[in-house]
Structure 1
Amino acid sequence: MTATKSPYLFEGQGSAIDDYNSPKQQLQNVVSGKSGNWGLFKKDHPLAKVHKLIRSLCIQNGWSVTNERWGEIADLEKLSRFLKSDNSPVKKPLMDMSHQELEKIIVALEGIINSTFKTKKHK
């Protein structure tokens, strides 16, 4: 479930609605890579196909957000938190991983998906 925004008193220039809907500094940091997001990727990277598979596994696991332009996309913040956590087999940014390290991440994400569906199936 998505948390709603709390109301606040608008004291800026222009429209209050435009200010409310505009991307916040945190989102701009994520997009620019300044926040240390380990889930970021580049589409022209040599291992871009493997990165695409990882993003697909994130969506299958429910780690997704809605994007106005692209629809449902992988939540790179959740992926980043996973890569930094003790549950991750490789503690590195996605862009710095070798092919073998990416395969370990894929196996871990597939394991999460399998365990999630098994527990839902038995309930």
Structure 2
Amino acid sequence: MKAVSSQRKQLYKLFRYSKETEALHVRHITGCDDKTEAKELTASQAKQLIASLTTHWAYFDKNNQQHSYILSLLRQIGWTKSSERYGIIADMDRLSDFLKSKKSPVPKPLQNMDSTELSTLINCLESILGKKYGAK
């Protein structure tokens, strides 16, 4: 059974009406490079994708050194926000939105990434840092 209209409308909003983001997530959820549109999803795939995109993707494991380094990079890049309790902290919402976007090198939740995928994300964040400070 194909995804219903209400599911597709919700997905389009979550994709921010970007065809590239839509294609990225549809390919990822179906495992098929030929499928690039939400209308090609089954109802269960659409439900799974909606659940995935509405959850927070930036949960950290404090015992993982790569996760700690990503936190450090977020602060260096300036992806921070104020917290009454802790002062200036890394902006997890911004990282979650980035991981869900077409700009992310690994479009999946941080907790689901293996060490190779985390290295790819780290390289991307280091590149952003380098561009911010004019490194060549």
Q: What is the root-mean-square deviation of aligned Cα atoms in Å?
A: 1.6
In structure 2, distance between residues paired with 1:68 and 1:42: 23
The ranges of structure 1 where at least 4 consecutive aligned residues each deviate by more than 4 angstroms after the TM superposition are: none
- Residue 55 of structure 2 is aligned to residue 39 of structure 1: no
Find out whether 1:89 has 2:100 as its counterpart: no
Q: 1:67 Cα deviation (Å)? A: 1.7
User: How many residue pairs get matched?
Assistant: 82
Cα shift readout 1:91-115 (whole Å, capped 9, x = no counterpart): 1100000000000000000101111
User: Could you say which residue in structure 1 is the equivalent of 2:70?
Assistant: 54
Stretches of structure 1 that go unaligned for 5 or more consecutive residues are 1-34
- 1:42 Cα deviation from its structure 2 partner: 3.2
State the TM-score, normalizing by the size of structure 1.
0.62
Task: Tell me by how many angstroms 1:82 deviates.
Answer: 0.9
Which sections of structure 2, spanning at least 5 residues, go unmatched? 1-53
1:38-96 Cα shifts (integer Å, max 9, x gaps): 1112325xxx2111110111111110012222221110000011111111110110000
Counterparts of 2:84 and 2:62, CA distance in 1: 20
User: Is the partner of 1:118 in helix, strand or coil?
Assistant: coil
- Cα distance in 1 for residues equivalent to 2:89 and 2:61: 15
Question: Which of the residues 90, 109, 117 maps onto 1:74?
Answer: 90
Per the normalisation by structure 2, the TM-score is: 0.56
Higher helix share: 2
- Based on CA coordinates, which of the two structures has the bigger radius of gyration? 1
Identity in percent: 43
